[in-house]
Amino acid sequence: MDKKIGLYICTGCGLEEALDINALTAVGNEEKVAVCKTCQQLCSKEGKELIKQDIENGEVNAVAIAGCSFRVNYDVFDFGPEILVERINLREHVVWTHTPNNEDTQMMAEDYIRMGMAKLKRMELPEPYVPEEEVVKTIMVVGGGLTGMTAALESAKAGYKTVLVEKENKLGGWAANLYKMAPVTEPFTEIADNYIPDIIKEIEANSNITVYTSSKVITTEGAPGMFYVTINQGSKEISEKVGSIVQATGAKPYEPENLGHLGYGKSDKVITQAMFEEMAKNGKLSGVEKIAFIQCAGSRDENHLPYCSAACCVESLKQSLAFKGINPKGIVYIFYRDIRSAGQYEHFYEKAQESGVNFIKYAEIDDVAENSGKMVITLDDVILGEKVEASDFDLVVLANGMVSTASFGEEMVEESEEDEKQDSESQESIANKPPVIQADILNLQYRQGPEIPILKHGFPDSNYICFPYETRRTGIYTAGSVRAPMDLLETREDATGAALKAVQCVENVSVGMALHPRSGDLSFPEFNMNRCTQCKRCTEECPFGAINEDEKANPLPNPTRCRRCGVCMGACPERIISFKNYNVPMVGNMIKNIEIPEEDEEKPRILIFACENDAIPALDMAGINKYSYNAWVRIIPVRCLGSLNLIWINDAMSKGFDGVLLMGCKHGEDYQCHFMKGSELAEYRLSKVSETLDRLGLESERVKATQVTIMDYDKIPQMIEDFTEEIDELGPNPMKDFQ
């Protein structure tokens, strides 16, 4: 279908007062648009009607709105799935940030119109990815403890078939062995009987759930909507096709053998929390009169677990009260550093205090030793400020913390890393990848490794505060204590949320829609395999491990694993990867369509590639605050800085741009990039282009990467000013003459 572009220029919000609108219309006509109209307020009913009419009359099938930012009035300028819309930001990026009725401001507005036209000409309507095979909506949950059972039940209650895989011969996990349970509901003061058997019954009664006990996942192949899972059950091998996965394999207690300094292994009167539960359950606590709990046994200790295990304080409170229930006259001491009974568990702490449990704050436990059949604890008492001995204990319980099941195993070393040890560039690029530990849980048949990458301390957690279900592997969600230390209450909420995410995944995949953060996006990367040189950059750099490789190193894309960030498109040196509405030639043409003044006009030009997620909103905010910045710049939004293809730098330089500035998210520790490492990759690629620039006789300082947050809008004008000064000092791009 031929593209019939309608260019609609809004004259409201100060545009008319600041710009020569007729000249803008002239630019539109030069670009041979089908329709070019102006309106006093395009977002009004009349404005929208004006556009609608042209569409209905068949005069226009692609719309360019020259007015405000795409971040506002999104819904107003939605003309249905058949109509392409491009927003040309003349408000926030031009008239609100630059001198009105000024030659430079006008040139900027005209360039943005040309860029918008170039973009629209290269854009196509995205068509959703529909796999050839059937997309299934079954949810698989790995791990049959409290988290896994909750996730399975919640998925089933929402109407989804669920497969639950548990390695032990029965469901229940760690919590099944508890004598009593900490409260999870108001008034948060009473210990409860173990309710795990009730949950198991509920699972068994639910026809949507298939349970495999004594079972283990051998391999997980495929992608969301079509994961092929091989499960080993004794001598049997079972195949299941599932749509998405919840990994709820939980945590293990910290190895008590490492706690010799707290007396473990030296006396059988020093036990773990789990051993306490077993003794309580089996009536072995009779005769115990005085008991000590030592908190942070291994946790909050740089020699053991640097983190707090989050659940032990409440667990020890519970065990104290359970012990008091068995032996009301029994004496309990809890040796602690901080009692972390957060939220309503404060009531539980109070209950323990009221019940006569003694709390002693320690700085250091020096020794735990047996003396005449009783245990003696030597400690540094914080309140007394001196060494004290606490004695006569019949039992010492070590609150020995938790370790994620995802953390056991060898860290994966990439083949290419071994092969190319000589190649320092390649090593550097791989060095920043999150570690994948071969924990033998999901055994993913992914080019980037068999398990979910680890964030920190062996936990495959999300890096994002706002998006805690991000695992870097689309359609696979970790939940419960496998992903972060948490208590039973948090575990259940986490499991229910993970079940929703699993459901969300299959629902969106089945209609070809992207998941967060580009929720609803229908575009996906297409590979022109004829020109592939098997360089492996796309398969290595995809932040989500979406692309597998065949034995000849050809990329094998899995579109349902893809999150549409465009990192692969930026990585590809042959430029064979493109999206229907976002591709290398599209941005290339935008650059080529910018008018570069002759050198003697002394109007340098600087191209800014700005991340759509943070830098563009920050630039918009600069506009809303009417902060003015240099008018030499031209801004191109990118999905992620990681989608930046180096050819664009070439395009800009050969076009005669004097400098290129990249604005992306913070990287490194606590990175802010929504696609993990896009901004970092862009900077890494830049280090390679500087050599090329040097060879061309262009200073590498002409291209610079910066990190901005969404709140840096007050700093952006100065950042731009600093860069333009640097460019000014370098003088004009000598390539200008060769245009």
Cα dist from 538 to 525, 529, 733, whole Å: 11, 13, 32
Among 431, 465, 530, 695, binds another protein (CB under 8 A): 465
507 is a site residue for another protein (CB under 8 A): yes
Q: What share of the chain is helix, strand, coil (3-state, %, to 5)?
A: 35, 25, 45
Please state, in angstroms and rounded to a whole number, the distance separating the CA atoms of residues 579 and 575.
Answer: 11
Give me the least distance between CB of 245 and another protein, in Å please.
16
Site string for another protein, 385-404 (x = CB under 8 A): x-------------------
707 binds another protein (CB under 8 A): no
Residue of the chain from 37, 374, 516, 536 that contacts another protein (CB under 8 A): 516
CA-to-CA distance for 463 and 482, rounded, in angstroms? Answer: 15
**Interface with another protein, residue 503, by CB under 8 A:** yes
310 binds another protein (CB under 8 A): yes
Answer yes or no whether residue 286 interacts with another protein by CB under 8 A.
Answer: no
- Considering only the stretches 135-143, 194-202, 406-414, 491-499, report the one whose residues sit in contact with another protein under the rule CB under 8 A: 491-499
Residue in the block written with tokens 């109209």: 37
Query: What binding mask, one character per residue, do residues 665-704 give for another protein by CB under 8 A, x or -?
Result: -x---x-x-x------------------------------
Shortest Å, Cβ 414 to another protein: 27
Q: Kindly tell me which residue out of 25, 247, 272, 309 binds another protein, with binding defined by CB under 8 A.
A: 309
Q: Residue 559: how many CB atoms within 10 A of its CB?
A: 21
Give the one residue of 59, 127, 204, 714 binding another protein; rule: CB under 8 A: 714
**Selected range binding another protein among 140-148, 230-238, 480-488, 676-684, rule: CB under 8 A:** 480-488
Q: What does the buried/exposed string (b/e) look like for 540-549 if buried means 16 or more CB atoms within 10 Å of the residue's CB? A: bbbbbbbbbb
φ and ψ of 662, to 5 deg:
-100, 135
Q: Which stretch binds another protein (CB under 8 A): 213-221, 226-234, 387-395, 515-523?
A: 515-523
603 belongs to the binding site for another protein (CB under 8 A): no
How many angstroms separate the CA atoms of 626 and 97, rounded? 5
Asked if 452 is part of the footprint of another protein (rule: CB under 8 A), the reply reads no
HSE, CB side, 13 Å, CA atoms: give it for residue 255. Answer: 6
Task: State how far the alpha carbon of 99 is from the alpha carbons of 10, 104, 194, 508, 630, in Å.
Answer: 18, 8, 71, 46, 10
117 belongs to the binding site for another protein (CB under 8 A): no
Closest approach of another protein to the CB of residue 446, in Å: 24
Q: How far apart are CA 342 and CA 349, in angstroms?
A: 10
Q: What part of residues 559-578 is at the interface with another protein (CB under 8 A)?
A: none
Contact between 268 and 288 under an 8 Å Cβ cutoff? The reply is no
Q: How far is the CB of 500 from another protein (least distance, A)?
A: 4
Q: Does 306 bind another protein (CB under 8 A)?
A: yes
We find the least distance from the C-beta atom of residue 294 to another protein, in angstroms, to be 17
Cβ density class 638-672: b for 16+ within 10 Å, e for less = bbbbbbbbbbbbbbbbbbbbbbbbbbbbebeeebb
Quick one: which segment of 81-89, 221-229, 303-311, 563-571 binds another protein (CB under 8 A)? Answer: 303-311
DSSP per position, 87-129: EEE-IIIIITTS-TT-HHHHHHHHHHHHHHHHHHHH-------
Between the alpha carbon of residue 106 and those of residues 19, 109, 116, 238, 680, the distances in Å are 6, 5, 15, 68, 35
Q: According to CB under 8 A, which residues from 605 to 634 bind another protein?
A: 613-614, 617, 621, 624-625
Give the residues across from 66 on adjacent strands.
Answer: 9, 88
Q: Is 354 in the site for another protein (CB under 8 A)?
A: no
72: tokens are 């506002």
Contact between residue 695 and residue 650 where contact means Cβ atoms under 8 Å apart:
no
Interaction of residue 355 with another protein, rule CB under 8 A: no
Nearest distance, CB of residue 326 and another protein, angstroms? 27
Residues between 153 and 212 with contacts to another protein, criterion CB under 8 A: 154, 157-159, 184-188
When the beta carbons of 175 and 727 are compared against another protein, the nearer one is 175
Number of residues forming the site for another protein (CB under 8 A): 91
- Cα 567 → chain centroid: 15
CB of 186 to another protein, least distance (A): 4
Q: Does 260 bind another protein (CB under 8 A)?
A: no
